[in-house]
């Protein structure tokens, strides 16, 4: 597992636990990973974690491939359009 994958996995775990930013940055530091800023943490708490919740495919894409938020939005829109059609 690459460093960036480890970081994303750590961030997702912390977001699932609803950790605060100082605790999350302490955990990253324990893993010898760079800390994050509040804006990035808010993305994890408010967007990434809810999007991948209960969706193993999305979780894999986030952790393994590092998909950006725009990719998830496009995928969610595509799924929505399939259900509407």
Residue pLDDT, tens place only, 16-61 = 999 999 999 999 999 999 999 999 999 999 999 999 999 999 999 9
Residue pLDDT, tens place only, 44-56 = 999 999 999 999 9
The pLDDT-based confidence of 85 (bands split at 50, 70, 90) is low
- Its domain, for residue 41, covers 3-84
SS (H, E, C) the chain: CCHHHHHHHHHHHHHHCCCCHHHHHHHHHHCCCCCCCHHHHHHHHHHHHHHHCCCHHHHHHHHHHCCCHHHHHHHHHHHHHHHHC
pTM above 0.75, yes or no: yes
Q: State the total domains in the chain.
A: 1
């Amino acid at each position: 597992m690459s460093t960036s994958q480890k970081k994303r996995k750590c961030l997702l775990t912390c977001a699932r636990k609803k950790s605060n930013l100082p605790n999350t940055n302490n955990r990253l530091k324990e893993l010898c990973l760079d800390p994050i800023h509040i804006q990035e943490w808010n993305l994890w708490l408010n967007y990434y974690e809810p999007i991948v919740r209960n969706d193993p495919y999305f979780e894999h894409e986030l952790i393994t491939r590092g998909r950006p938020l725009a990719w998830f939005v496009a995928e969610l829109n595509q799924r929505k359009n399939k259900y509407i059609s």
